[in-house]
């Protein structure tokens, strides 16, 4: 249902009044509708629990399970966690709070929010939508893989336990099943091959699940969140309890926290903070836009960030107790029969007298195999679960957990696309259209070389564009709109003023930190030629290959297409001579000064009060919970004057 147009005076007298006598109407929890006027038709969460589960479900994703544990070990264990917490507090939480507050106060998706905050940088919202679409394309493929493995878990023994093949013997049964049975992968990205019919069917099922869950927007997806956001925690706790009973669990935890000195720790910690909270996607803004105006988004930012970090720690413990069991079982063969220390001491004395089939128990080497990304989930963890008693049960549980983690993140990603499109281009914001388009483009990932394209999209379609988006987001709020003014709006919204330290964090720490991360990422791309990991079926092992020329062009286009809306939006706004928003025929555009930085202290000459000075004397105001096209300026009411019906 389209929102009805606001009443306006034929002669435009409302907007023709002096700016010193006007103010933005303050938003209210019950909506902005007048007593006799129509109500805002924007959906809303049924409860605070729904909203929290949605934000947690989006931010807690597969990266918490298969990325954070790897980074934690590779960069010094406990030292990495301390640095991660520090960056989370000074960069992650402030930026997360900024996005929550912007979405909740303006009550629009990413396009509408940044169009209001910084009209010349309105392209930020379009870039967020593009990145969300790229991520949705390959993220649903991972959900399809989880569906495939979960379906194969309902049999005993598990199909990847005992495979007999020459290629399998030179690697491992789980590696062979993943690369040759599940993916039927080619030897390089140049060898595309035919489509994988089973994976194509799984991808169709994955998009069907997403489409059904999004059929009524947040009203339907929020119901699914009650299960998809909570179930992974139950599974992680079950795996942790079972894992600590396994031989090798203690060695696994020690390996996780074993200190290592690296020079790239700050960059990897900052990157993980950035992606763990889902900054820049527009999904955080979209979810918060359905909140009541006076919801305490500051508390939400701290709570969701804390839950995200604790989930990463829990997942890391689960991963390494299971990998410790797996590594010790591989190294010793009979983990209950002898301790690791006794075995290594025995081997140091008699190892040179033994044949080549008896080797040293190098736990470090075994633990380092496949502890990141798909290698962890579909190779290392599946191998460990095959050693569990009742292995089909644990395998089904694990892949059902991955399925729910993926779906909850996918719902948020889709909302980052649909909400801004519905707010600005209602015809385009149909979930069926997005899902059908996503499936057909996603067929790129179901051919034999599809896994290599998933790696390309994962590495390049989101990383740089998202960092660029957040840099401009922070700059827009801190320097163009004004950090102090933004905090004023938040004060009106929350009825209390957040600490002033947020102004300094937004203006300096967050902005400089994100610019530094952008520079480090660009330098890494320039000085290190992009590579991908391919499967060599002749050797039965993985090998690192450089992308061919056409693939380099493709990944460059992914970055450019996702980042291009920002400069294009600025250029179009500049060519229009500063007119940021299209004004319909017969409509008078509100004065731009009302939306610009307002902390100047310079007085106007000729005893004339400036609008900026008068802003300090009148009650602070916030945004209407309506679309950008429905904002209007109304006469300022004197204190004690009876409120008039606005006709909204």
The answer to whether the Cα torsion of 517, 520, 526, 532 is positive or negative is negative
Single pTM value for the model: 0.79
Determine the average pLDDT of the residues in 13-28: 32
Is 64 flagged in the annotation as binding?
Answer: yes
In order, the DSSP letters of 35-89 are SSSPPP-----SSHHHHHHHHHHHHS-HHHHHTHHHHHHHTTTHHHHHHHHHHII
The DSSP 8-state label assigned to residue 115 in this structure reads H
Strands (E), 354-460: none
195 DSSP 8-state letter: B
Find out whether 57 is annotated in a ligand binding site.
yes
Q: Give the Cα separation of 580 and 616 in Å (integer).
A: 25
> If one looks up domain 48-347+361-576 in CATH, what number appears?
1.10.4160
Q: Which helix (H) or strand (E) holds 635?
A: strand 633-635
CA distance 241 to 294: 41
Residue 133's CB: how many other CB atoms inside 10 A? 19
**Partner residues linked to 633 by β-bridges:** 24
pLDDT per residue as tens digits for the range 204-249: 999 999 999 888 778 888 888 889 889 999 999 999 998 888 877 7
Domain boundaries, the chain: 48-347+361-576
Digit-coded pLDDT (tens) for 434-460: 999 999 999 999 999 999 999 999 989
d(CA 99, CA 477): 10
The per-residue pLDDT for 156 is 83
Query: pLDDT category, 303, cuts 50, 70, 90?
Result: very high
Check residue 431 and give its pLDDT.
80
Is 60 annotated to bind a ligand? Reply is yes
State residue 542 phi and psi, 5-degree precision. Answer: -85, 150
Mean pLDDT value of segment 360-383: 69
**Sequence-distant (≥ 6) Cβ neighbours of residue 347 within 8 angstroms:** 358, 360, 361
For residue 354, the model assigns a pLDDT of 58
CB-CB contact of 242 with 60 (8 Å): no
Q: 266, 514 in Cβ contact below 8 A?
A: no
Q: Is 405 labelled a binding residue?
A: yes
- Among 36-40, 299-303, 536-540, 542-546, the minimum mean pLDDT is found in 36-40
Percentage of the chain lying above the pLDDT 70 cut: 73
Beta-ladder partners of 22: 635
């Amino acid at each position: 249902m389209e929102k009805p147009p606001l009443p306006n005076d034929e002669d435009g007298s409302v907007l023709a009044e002096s700016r010193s006598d006007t103010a933005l109407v303050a938003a209210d929890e019950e909506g902005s509708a007048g007593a006799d006027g129509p109500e805002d038709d924007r959906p809303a969460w049924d409860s605070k629990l729904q909203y929290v589960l949605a934000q947690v479900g989006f931010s807690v994703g597969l990266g918490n399970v298969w990325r954070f544990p790897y980074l934690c070990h590779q960069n010094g264990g406990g030292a990495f966690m301390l640095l991660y917490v520090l960056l989370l507090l000074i960069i992650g939480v402030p930026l997360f709070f900024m996005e929550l507050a912007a979405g909740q106060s303006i009550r629009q998706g990413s396009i509408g929010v940044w169009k209001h905050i910084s009209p010349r940088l309105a392209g930020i919202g379009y870039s967020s939508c593009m990145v969300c679409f790229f991520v949705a394309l390959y993220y649903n493929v991972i959900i399809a893989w989880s569906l495939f493995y979960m379906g194969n878990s309902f049999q005993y023994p598990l199909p990847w336990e005992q495979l007999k093949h020459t290629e399998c013997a030179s690697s491992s049964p789980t590696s062979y099943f993943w690369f040759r049975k599940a993916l039927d992968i080619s030897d390089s990205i140049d060898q595309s091959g035919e489509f994988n019919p089973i994976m194509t069917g799984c991808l169709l099922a994955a998009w069907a699940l997403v489409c059904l869950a999004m059929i009524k927007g947040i009203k339907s997806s929020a119901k699914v969140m009650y299960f998809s956001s909570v179930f992974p925690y139950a599974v992680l706790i079950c795996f942790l309890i079972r894992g600590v009973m396994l031989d090798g669990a203690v060695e696994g935890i020690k390996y996780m926290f074993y200190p290592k000195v690296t020079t790239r720790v700050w960059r990897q910690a900052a990157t993980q903070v950035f992606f763990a909270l889902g900054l820049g996607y527009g999904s955080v803004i979209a979810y918060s836009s359905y909140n009541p105006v006076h919801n305490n988004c500051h508390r939400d930012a701290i709570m969701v960030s804390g839950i995200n970090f604790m989930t990463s720690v829990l997942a890391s413990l689960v991963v390494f107790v299971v990998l410790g069991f797996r590594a010790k079982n591989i190294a010793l063969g009979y983990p209950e029969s002898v301790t690791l220390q006794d075995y290594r001491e025995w081997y140091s004395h008699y190892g040179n007298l033994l044949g080549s089939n008896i080797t040293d128990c190098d736990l470090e080497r075994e633990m380092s195999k496949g502890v990141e990304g798909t290698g962890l989930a579909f190779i290392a963890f599946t191998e460990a679960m095959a050693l569990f008693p009742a292995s089909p049960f644990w395998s089904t549980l694990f892949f059902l957990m991955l399925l729910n983690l993926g779906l909850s993140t996918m719902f948020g990603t889709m909302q980052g696309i649909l909400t801004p499109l519905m707010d600005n281009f209602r015809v385009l914001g149909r979930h069926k259209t997005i899902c059908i388009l996503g499936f057909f483009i996603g067929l790129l990932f179901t051919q034999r070389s599809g896994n290599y394209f998933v790696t390309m999209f994962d590495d390049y379609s989101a990383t740089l564009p998202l960092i660029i988006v957040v840099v401009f987001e922070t700059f827009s709020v801190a320097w163009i709109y004004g950090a102090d003014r933004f905090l004023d709006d938040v004060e009106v919204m929350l009825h209390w003023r957040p600490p002033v330290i947020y102004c300094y964090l937004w203006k300096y720490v967050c902005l400089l930190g994100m610019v530094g991360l952008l520079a480090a990422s660009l330098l890494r791309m320039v000085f290190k030629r992009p590579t991908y990991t391919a499967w060599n079926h002749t050797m039965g092992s993985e090998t690192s290959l450089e992308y061919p020329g056409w693939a380099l062009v493709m990944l460059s286009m992914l970055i450019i297409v996702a980042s291009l809306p920002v400069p294009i939006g600025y250029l179009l706004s500049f060519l229009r001579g500063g007119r940021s928003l299209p004004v319909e025929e017969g409509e008078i555009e509100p004065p731009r000064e009302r939306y610009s930085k307002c902390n100047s202290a310079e007085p106007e000459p000729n005893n004339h009060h400036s609008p900026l000075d008068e802003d300090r004397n009148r009650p602070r105001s916030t945004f209407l919970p309506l679309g950008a096209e429905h904002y209007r300026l109304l006469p300022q009411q004197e204190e004690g004057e009876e409120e008039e019906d606005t006709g909204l």
